[in-house]
Every structure is written in C-alpha cells, then in structure tokens.
Amino acid sequence: MITVKKIDSKQGLKAFVKFPFSIYKDSKYWVPPIISQELETFDKNKNPIFKDADATFFLAYKNDKVVGRIAAITNWLEINNQNQKKMRFGWFDFIDDLEVSKALINEVKALGNHHDLEYMEGPVGFSNLDKVGVVTEGFDQVASMITWYNHSYYVNHYEALGFKVEKSYSENKFPFKNVHPDYFYKAQELIKKRYKLRALKLTTTEEVMPYVDKMFDLFNSSYSQLSSFVEITDIQKEFFKKKFISFVNPEYIKFVVDENDEMVAFAIVLPRFAKTLQQINGKLFPFGFLKLLKAKKESKEVLFYLIGVKPEYQNKGVHAVIFNEYYNTFTEKGIETCYRTPELDDNDAIYKIWKHFDAKVIIRRKTFRKEL
C-alpha cells in the first residue's frame, strides 16, 4: 500500500532532498545536487520566491520506506499577472511503480483543483532559472548541475498517467576546436562601430556585481516572449546573486554596453562541475567546497547558461561581440568542450545564434501537461 505524506519539517525536507540519492546511487550519469543548497531553495525564510509562490512537498512511502517525492508549486505571478492557470510540479522522482507516481500526481491534482486552476505541467521549478524537463533521449549522457536526470521509465509513467507533451528542449555539445573565429570576428568589429557598443573587461566578482541587477532586468525583457517565461522580481535578484555568482568565474560573465553604458547584451558561462559534483556526492564539507574551487579554476569544460540581448538589438548580430569575447577567454583558458543548457525547441532566435557552431544534440527533454 502506498502512503503519501505532506512534508513541512526540516527532517522531512532533508529526506525529500536525499531521496534521489537512493535511486541513482549506481548511476554514472546522475549528478547529485548540493544538499545544503537544495534545502535553502526550499526554505521559505531564505528563498524570496515564496513571497510570490507556494510549494507543498510530498513523500510517498511503501512498507515504511520512501519510494517517491514531488513538489507542487503555485507561482502567483504566473497565475495572476499572466493569467496562466497552471499548477506546476517538479522534483518528481519515484521508483518504477505506477501506483507511486499516480499517488503523488493525485496530490498535485487536488491542490490544482483547490485553487481552481486549469492544468498542471511538469517537471518544472519555480521560475526560468530552475531546472526543467524530464529526459526523453540521452540517458547515457552525464547531466549538469542545472538540469535534472531521470531513469528512462519516467516517460512511461507520464504517458500512462494521461499526460501529453507540452514543451520540448534540447541540450547541445560542441568541441571548442571546431569554433572558427572567422564567423564572428569581422562582424563584431563592424557591429561595435555601427551601434557604438563595447564589451566590458571584468576580471573580479566585485567588478561584476554592480551590473548584475541590470543583467536580470535585461533577462526579463529579452526572455519575456518565451512560452515558459516568469518574471524575476527585485527581491529574487538578491537571492540569485548569492546562489549563482560565486560559482561563476568573473571572466565567464560578459556584458555589452552602448555609448551611454546601458546594457544591451549579457552572457553567463559556468565551469562544468558535473564530475566534481559526483565526487563530492552532495556534501560541501569537509572537502567538497575545495574540490569545487579547484574545478572552477581548472575545468576544461564549460556550460553556456544564459544569453540575453535587448529586444531592439536582437537580429543585429550583437551575439558576435559576445562570442568573440568568449573565444579569446576560452583560448587563454585552454577550454576543450562547450555545452549548452536546455533550450526551447521553439526558440528560433537562440538557434540562429548558434547556427555556425556545428553542435550536436546530446539530450532531449520535455515537460508534460494534463488538464485538471
């Protein structure tokens, strides 16, 4: 018999965070989250998303053993401001037992009906900066720190439970040696001259910080047309600064400004921490933090996390300026392989940006939808 319990204690949340460690303990491809960071994400006193969203956490038990988990999320900015009557769910993991996944989804359905919402979609997080999608192809590829990994049977459960595909995403990979600067060097010189633009040369986190708020403002404006968009509020910016910026090499953050020092484009690249995260197995201490610092400095693999261009500068080749900056930085650092995070398959703009990079799709993932 399956029993589902609502979790609201610190002990319960820790069990929620640690459950995937049991079902992926033998996986070569799953990348563990940092346990302390996951707990902070779910802490209503620390994560400002809870000022605009609610989350209810559930664990499923069978014979007194945890066999599944799910987070049911209502983002009130999305529901009230964008009129998207969506019940979100994420952090959805389970053993290969349909009764387990069904029992967990029924809890999400009940909450959605309680709030008079129209449909549920998942797996998704609170916003665009959270993990998204269930893997449908590429189960033999190592995940990254900003994506979920899952067993292949997950897809069968979504289908058996009556879900339909809502959004599709692709993750790509390309060797840096295949990047040809001819595609962007001359173009970026012309574009900088024509629009009076310049790339900022920042080498420390202290130099980066004054521009981060403007970066999030530009993120909101440049991503607003995407089907998955939810605005990042001012108070959330502070949280993301603390959560993300310390993990990013300052030279991997690129800003392009106009003659008035107004930001027109940005990009964030992360060292690919996947192998190190597998080694530390979710624990920053006593040695995990030091290993991450070492990987931050020495990793020869990078992950393109975000690229944003001001709407009035889109389709004008400004990305060539960004790519030229990264080409110089990556050449100096000896970067060997570049990865791209999940990109919506209907995001034509992003695929135009990458058309010259001879990238290979390595993972496909989807979100699933069901009417309430």
Asked whether the whole model's pTM tops 0.85, one would answer yes
Range name among 166-170, 227-231, 303-307, 322-326 with the lowest pLDDT average? 227-231
CATH topology assigned to domain 174-364: Aminopeptidase (3.40.630)
Q: What mean pLDDT do residues 204-215 have? A: 90
Residues 26-62, buried b or exposed e (16+ Cβ, 10 A)? Answer: ebebbbbbbbeebbebbeeeebbbeebbebbbbbbbb
**Contact indicator for 306, 266 with CB cutoff of 8 Å:** yes
3-state helix, strand, coil in the chain (%, to 5): 40, 30, 30
Domain extent listing, the chain? 2-168, 174-364
Alpha carbons 104 and 101: distance in angstroms, whole number: 5
Helices marked H in the chain: 10-23, 35-41, 76, 98-114, 153-160, 185-195, 205-208, 212-223, 234-244, 274-280, 288-298, 319-333, 348-353
CATH topology assigned to domain 2-168: Aminopeptidase (3.40.630)
To the nearest 10 degrees (0 to 180), the angle between helices 98-114 and 153-160 is 50
The two domains 2-168 and 174-364 share their CATH topology (first three levels equal): yes
pLDDT in tens, 66-122: 999 999 999 998 999 889 999 999 999 999 999 999 999 999 999 999 999 999 999
Task: pLDDT band for 234, please (50, 70, 90 cuts).
Answer: confident
Alpha carbons 68 and 58: distance in angstroms, whole number: 8
Considering Cα of 289, then 295, then 296, then 297, what sign does the dihedral take?
A: positive
**β-strand pairing of 86-94 with 360-371:** unpaired
- The DSSP result for 70-129, as a single string, is EEEEEEHIIIIIS---EEEEEEEEE-S-HHHHHHHHHHHHHHHHHTT-SEEEESB-SSTT
Count Cβ atoms below 10 Å from residue 267 Cβ, excluding itself: 22
Percent of the chain with pLDDT over 70: 98
- What's the pLDDT score for residue 226? 65
Q: Which residues pair with 255 in a beta bridge?
A: 266
Alpha carbons 256 and 64: distance in angstroms, whole number: 55
**β-strand pairing of 360-371 with 164-175:** antiparallel
Measure the CA dihedral 136/139/143/146, to 10°.
Answer: 10
Nearest CA among 123, 191, 206, 199 for reference residue 157: 123
Compute the half-sphere exposure of residue 185: CA atoms within 13 Å on the CB side of its CA: 6
Task: pLDDT band for 228, please (50, 70, 90 cuts).
Answer: low
- What's the pLDDT score for residue 227? 59
Alpha carbons 138 and 151: distance in angstroms, whole number: 10
* Predicted confidence (pLDDT) at residue 229 exceeds the cutoff of 80: no
Structure tokens, 170: 């692709």
